[in-house]
Structures are given as C-alpha cells and as structure tokens.
C-alpha cells in the first residue's frame, strides 16, 4: 500500500498541477471518444498503450474482457455499455484482449476453477470462443491454441455486443464502430480484427 500512497502524493503535488487546465475542464463533464473494454489484468494500461489522457476513454474492465450477451446478465458490464452508447454517445467500442490472459488460460485448463466458482460462472460468457477453438483448432500446440482462443474470445465478445439494443440501434444508423484488438504484452504490438478476412492483422 505504501507505493500506492506515495504515488497518490506525487500525483497531487506534481502531476495534477501540471495538468490543472485539463482537470478543470473535466470537472464539469466528460465527452469520451470510445468505450474501451479490456481485461482487468494489471499489465494492460489503456491510457498508456493508446497514449490518451483523462477524459478520452470510457473504460470497462473485467476478467477476460467479456461483454455478456444482452439479457443473460443484468450487471455492471451491460449497464456500462448502455450508458457509454446512449448517455455519452461514444463513437467507437474497442474490445481489447491480450497475450498470456489468465482467464483464457483457465478456459483451456479449468482445473483451478474448481476453487473459483464465481470466475467459472463468469467465463461461461466466453464458452462460444472455447467451443470454436476446441472444435476447430485442437491440433494446435498449447501456445498457439491459447493465442487462437484469445482472438476468438474477442470475436465472440464483439458478437455479444451486437445483441445489446443500444449497440444494435447505433450500428444500424452507422453511428458506432466496433473494433477487436489483441495486445501483446511482450512487444507492445496490437493486432486488430479484420472482418473481411476473419484474421487479426497488425495495426
């Protein structure tokens, strides 16, 4: 906790005064460009990898960067998506998975989930991706299968987003873009889902 409190002190003494105008502007409202849905993993820092500032990204994080299909779970993720689209009018939603994702590893090797019943229930929302990989990519080695699952989970969550009435309506009007990314922790590289080819291509 000490490191965190020291950081807070540095923020208040150094970083905040340097960006005083920005914070004064943000004090009365926000107008973020995008909803960034990513994993809770500590190694993913959305503002760092996109070099954005406070106020730029509306962020939703959870284990496995999951967006449950509408109606399956009335929870924080669905409410966050609806608020971002309807109240804030974000123009884009980015679903960002990442390399070495613990949630995706648990889908491939569910043993440890026996002691984490809540995580196990949550990961049901990624079952579609797990099944696609099991049925189509069983021949791949462990590392390649994990990489494929990470990608297919992003694809599955993009599809889930489309079941939300708010998202479907804005997509129909052409007022919303959906983007699927996978961030590689070791290199900083990002691949984006290309709907035409069905592949993830370097950005």
* Residues near Zn ion (CB under 5 A): 39, 41, 101, 103
Minimum gap (Å) between residue 96 Cβ and Zn ion: 10
DSSP track, 58-93: EEEEETTS--PPTTT--SHHHHHHHIIIIIS--SEE
Minimum gap (Å) between residue 131 Cβ and Zn ion: 19
> CB of 129 within 8 A of CB of 135?
no
Minimum gap (Å) between residue 174 Cβ and Zn ion: 31
Of 39 and 129, CB closest to Zn ion:
39
Minimum gap (Å) between residue 101 Cβ and Zn ion: 3
Of 41 and 151, CB closest to Zn ion:
41
Minimum gap (Å) between residue 109 Cβ and Zn ion: 14
Of 65 and 78, CB closest to Zn ion:
65
Of 32 and 64, CB closest to Zn ion:
64
Of 153 and 166, CB closest to Zn ion:
153
């Amino acid at each position: 906790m000490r490191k965190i409190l020291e950081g807070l002190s540095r923020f208040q003494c150094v970083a905040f005064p340097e960006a005083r105008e920005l914070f004064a502007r943000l004090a009365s409202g926000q107008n973020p460009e995008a909803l960034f849905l990513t994993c809770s993993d500590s190694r993913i820092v959305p503002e760092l990898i996109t070099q954005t500032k406070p106020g730029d990204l509306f962020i939703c994080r959870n284990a496995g960067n999951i967006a449950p299909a509408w109606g399956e779970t009335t929870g924080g993720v669905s409410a966050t998506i609806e608020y971002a689209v309807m109240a804030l009018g974000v123009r884009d939603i980015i679903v960002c998975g990442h390399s070495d994702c613990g949630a995706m590893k648990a889908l491939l090797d569910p043993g440890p989930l026996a002691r984490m019943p809540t995580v196990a229930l949550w990961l049901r929302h990624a079952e579609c991706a797990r099944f696609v990989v099991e049925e189509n990519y069983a021949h791949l080695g462990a590392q390649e299968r994990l990489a494929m699952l990470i990608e297919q989970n992003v694809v599955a969550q993009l599809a889930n987003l489309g079941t939300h009435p708010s998202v479907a309506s804005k997509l129909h009007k052409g007022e919303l873009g959906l983007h699927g990314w996978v961030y590689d922790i070791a290199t900083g590289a990002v691949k984006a889902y290309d709907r035409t080819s069905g592949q993830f291509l370097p950005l």
